Amino acid sequence: MNLSYRWVIVGAGALMTCVAIGAMFSLAIFLEPMTTDTHWSRAGISSAMTLNFLIMGVGGFMWGAATDRFGARIVVLIGAVLLGLALVLASRTQSLLAFQLTYGVLVGLAASAFFAPMIATTTAWFDTNRSLAVSLVSAGMGVAPMTISPFAGWLISAYDWRMAMFLIGVMAWVLLVPAALLVRQPPAPAADEAGADLAAEGAGMSVGQALRSPQFLVLGITFFACCVAHSGPIFHMVSYAMVCGIAPMAAVSIYSVEGLAGLGGRLLFGLSADRLGVKPVLIAGLLIQALVIPAYLMVSRLGEFYGLAIIFGAAYGGVMPLYAVLAREYFGPRIIGTVFGAATMLSSIGMAFGPLAGGFVFDTFASYSWLFVGSAIVGLGAVAVAIAFPPLPRAAELKLA
């Protein structure tokens, strides 16, 4: 198969992550009309998002393992069918519990079927420009708030929330099923490439050995701490800006600037990692993230928020795809789906922790100051752990072992 097809894999992966993550995060757009129509509590509806993160963690590990065994195509195809079905069913629910089960559990399970499998498949297709390719696939997540969420808002204004959610489910089928059918297994590596992969896999390391290895422990802890550090500030940024006196619509625009900057950060960090190496670029990004978080405590004007949003968004958006590249270099293609799925599970737990911690801090102290201070400390901890990444195994060393 022509290696130029690998860019088709990148395009399909970016589309799938955009639609899946966008559909899940559009719950914020549905919150107000759903509350008005059903009289369900905001906390009850919002809890579906907490379930999404938790289920995505477990689902990412499960789908990653399935990718290693059956290939990515069948996994993302199942995810595409399940996502559309979950949204259609959620649009018809008549009780809060039914909505939480369909949207919180089924949507989360379906959405997790795309990121880890497509990232793992993309790393196997690329020997050069691997960091850039992975960054482009993950860029779909950054595009989601600027595409699916506005589309959901337009549908709600034109119809109602039930019809809007139903149509997004149908759209998921229309876009994702054909995209899933484009996914192919990568060509078999040449002899020298196979030797390099063997070196990366630790000469046949099993999944159990990989998950207990120092490499995975450092990878997983860094990924978890990174997500804990930025998830709270991201989720509470709009509220914090309003507390600082920024108008509501202007405060929302800060979040949009962060998302747009994240796209640029993915490209910048991906290109830099291909040239300079993944580890130093990851450490630099984590350090920038840790330093910019407390800087929010020193700003109060919209322009200052925008400036920090550009740096913060580029940093956290840029580092996220690099964990997959490190996992591929440490463990090779054979078990990358399972290993990266396990790392994604830890990151999802971290993402779920931040918003909860931020709400607790504000309810306790009537201020977000300790959220940003605590997040910065955790961010510096992520930097310290990342510095401890073991060196990559080399083929010559493994032959002597």
Three-state secondary structure readout of the chain: CCHHHHHHHHHHHHHHHHHHHHHHHCHHHHHHHHHHHHCCCHHHHHHHHHHHHHHHHHHHHHHHHHHHHHCHHHHHHHHHHHHHHHHHHHHHCCCHHHHHHHHHHHHHHHHCCCHHHHHHHHHHHCCCCHHHHHHHHHHHHHHHHHHHHHHHHHHHHHCCHHHHHHHHHHHHHHHHHHHHHCCCCCCCCCHHHHHHHHHHCCCCCCHHHHHHCHHHHHHHHHHHHHHHHHHHHHHHHHHHHHHCCCCHHHHHHHHHHHHHHHHHHHHHHHHHHHHHCHHHHHHHHHHHHHHHHHHHHHCCCHHHHHHHHHHHHHHHHHHCCHHHHHHHHHHCCCCHHHHHHHHHHHHHHHHHHHHHHHHHHHHHHCCCHHHHHHHHHHHHHHHHHHHCCCCCCCHHHHHHC
Evaluate whether residue 136 is within a structural domain. Answer: yes
**Of 187, 221, 255, the domain-final residue:** 187
333 vs 225, residue with greater confidence:
225
- For residues 202 and 183, state if they share a domain: no
> Number of structural domains, the chain?
2
- For residues 334 and 259, state if they share a domain: yes
Q: Return the pLDDT at 331.
A: 84
- For residues 287 and 142, state if they share a domain: no
- For residues 12 and 31, state if they share a domain: yes
Tell me the pLDDT of the chain averaged across its residues. 85
Q: Return the pLDDT at 60.
A: 83
What confidence tens digit (pLDDT) does each residue in 226-262 have? 999 998 888 788 778 888 998 877 877 787 788 788 8
What confidence tens digit (pLDDT) does each residue in 318-327 have? 898 899 888 8
**Of 187, 205, 229, the domain-final residue:** 187
5 vs 399, residue with greater confidence:
5
374 vs 199, residue with greater confidence:
374
Mean pLDDT of 263-272: 88
Evaluate whether residue 96 is within a structural domain. Answer: yes
**Residues spanned by the domain of 301:** 196-389
- For residues 281 and 325, state if they share a domain: yes
Task: Using the predicted structure, report yes or no on whether residue 354 has a pLDDT greater than 90.
Answer: no
- For residues 336 and 311, state if they share a domain: yes
Cα(258)–Cα(252) distance, integer angstroms = 10
Q: Return the pLDDT at 239.
A: 79
What confidence tens digit (pLDDT) does each residue in 282-317 have? 999 999 999 999 999 999 899 999 999 999 999 998
- For residues 166 and 223, state if they share a domain: no
Percent of the chain beyond pLDDT 70?
92
Q: Return the pLDDT at 26.
A: 81
- For residues 160 and 234, state if they share a domain: no
Evaluate whether residue 120 is within a structural domain. Answer: yes
91 vs 274, residue with greater confidence:
91
Cα(186)–Cα(122) distance, integer angstroms = 9
**Of 164, 187, 210, the domain-final residue:** 187
Q: Return the pLDDT at 33.
A: 85
- For residues 180 and 96, state if they share a domain: yes
Band (pLDDT 50/70/90 cuts) for residue 136 is confident
Q: What CATH number is attached to the domain comprising 33?
A: 1.20.1250.20
What confidence tens digit (pLDDT) does each residue in 184-199 have? 888 765 444 544 444 4
- For residues 353 and 254, state if they share a domain: yes
Percent of the chain beyond pLDDT 90?
36
288 vs 395, residue with greater confidence:
288
- For residues 29 and 127, state if they share a domain: yes
Band (pLDDT 50/70/90 cuts) for residue 2 is low
Evaluate whether residue 398 is within a structural domain. Answer: no
- For residues 176 and 37, state if they share a domain: yes
164 vs 336, residue with greater confidence:
164
Q: Return the pLDDT at 393.
A: 55
Q: Return the pLDDT at 3.
A: 66
Band (pLDDT 50/70/90 cuts) for residue 389 is confident
61 vs 219, residue with greater confidence:
219
Task: Using the predicted structure, report yes or no on whether residue 201 has a pLDDT greater than 70.
Answer: no
